[in-house]
Amino acid sequence: MKETQTPILSIENLTIRFGGLVAVNDVSFDILPSELFGLIGPNGAGKTTCFNMITGVYRPTAGEIRFQGSSIIGLRPSLIAARGIARTFQNIRLFGALSVLENVIVGGFLRRKTTLFESMTLLPSAIKETSQFASAAMALLEMFDLADLADTRSADLPYGKQRRLEIARAMATSPRLLLLDEPAAGMNPQESEELMRDIKRLRDEFGQTILLIEHDMKVVMGVCEKIVVLDYGAEIAQGPPEKIRNDPKVIEAYLGEPV
């Protein structure tokens, strides 16, 4: 049944070399619409490098990345974001001096229709659009339980809330594909459980396609429908969680023991 669907993101033989180091070697996988896809592997396996290639930060040495049927290799990150791929960062990157609300407004800014001139002269169109952005942002903040903190400086938020805000900001770009780089890193078990519930809700209620990097095995196995495992830049296994759990190569490289 699923084989007949066209993938939203398809990665073919993706390879990148930094000098002599092959950071990612010949990785291929397809993500179908509304899928919750996991990318796992030990430290230095090349997971974040994969993200950076998909979002246009690095240019792959070889291979192809197709998003909704067309290649996105060589596009600058902002263009890729405009095409519909949004991401969060492993080490949180918020606009610290801006308020929580403003952070999310910046996310929506991508869909603007007004010009810079209209903003400089503060014409009604610019004001109206900004307030539309603001109310859309408020709605997102409600969803992520951040609405009561809307006017707080984002740098002053506690760690877990900063992570949620980053996801809210990424969602504000109304992405087709959401890339989450270790969203639960540094969270306590309860926080990470809540976060995973929200991520699953994003998918279930809005049909959001999500590609997730995660270290916490319990989290990945509980949430993702399909998983790719990287080790030293190479793909060692791919499939649904049950298959990954019992794959001898994965157990050896990453898990150490069956979970």
Name the residues that contact another protein, by CB under 8 A: 55, 57, 76-79, 81-82, 86-87, 89, 93-98, 101-102, 105-110, 112, 114, 116, 119-122, 124, 126-131, 133-135, 138, 141-142, 147-148, 150-151, 169-170, 173
The set of residues, in sequence order, having a beta carbon less than 8 Å from that of 184 and lying 6+ positions away, is: 163, 191, 192, 195, 196, 214, 215, 216, 219
Q: How far is the CB of 45 from another protein (least distance, A)?
A: 22
Cα Rg, the chain, nearest whole Å: 19
The gap from C-alpha 40 to its chain's centroid, in whole angstroms, comes to: 14
Q: How far is the CB of 163 from another protein (least distance, A)?
A: 13
- Identify which of residues 104 and 236 has a Cβ nearer to another protein in the complex: 104
Please count the residues of the chain: 259
Q: How far is the CB of 103 from another protein (least distance, A)?
A: 8
Q: How far is the CB of 18 from another protein (least distance, A)?
A: 18
Q: How far is the CB of 222 from another protein (least distance, A)?
A: 27
Residues 107, 172: contact at Cβ < 8 Å? Answer: yes
- Identify which of residues 2 and 128 has a Cβ nearer to another protein in the complex: 128
- Identify which of residues 76 and 243 has a Cβ nearer to another protein in the complex: 76
- Identify which of residues 30 and 166 has a Cβ nearer to another protein in the complex: 166
- Identify which of residues 25 and 55 has a Cβ nearer to another protein in the complex: 55
Q: How far is the CB of 77 from another protein (least distance, A)?
A: 4
Q: Report helix, strand or coil for 116.
A: helix
- Identify which of residues 102 and 235 has a Cβ nearer to another protein in the complex: 102
| Sheet with 85-87, edge to edge strand ranges | 70-71, 62-67, 9-18, 21-31, 234-239, 226-231, 36-40, 209-213, 177-181, 85-87
What count of other Cβ atoms lies within 10 Å of the Cβ of residue 69?
9
Q: Which residues pair with 11 in a beta bridge?
A: 29, 65
User: C-alpha distances in angstroms, 5 versus 99, 138, 206?
Assistant: 41, 34, 18
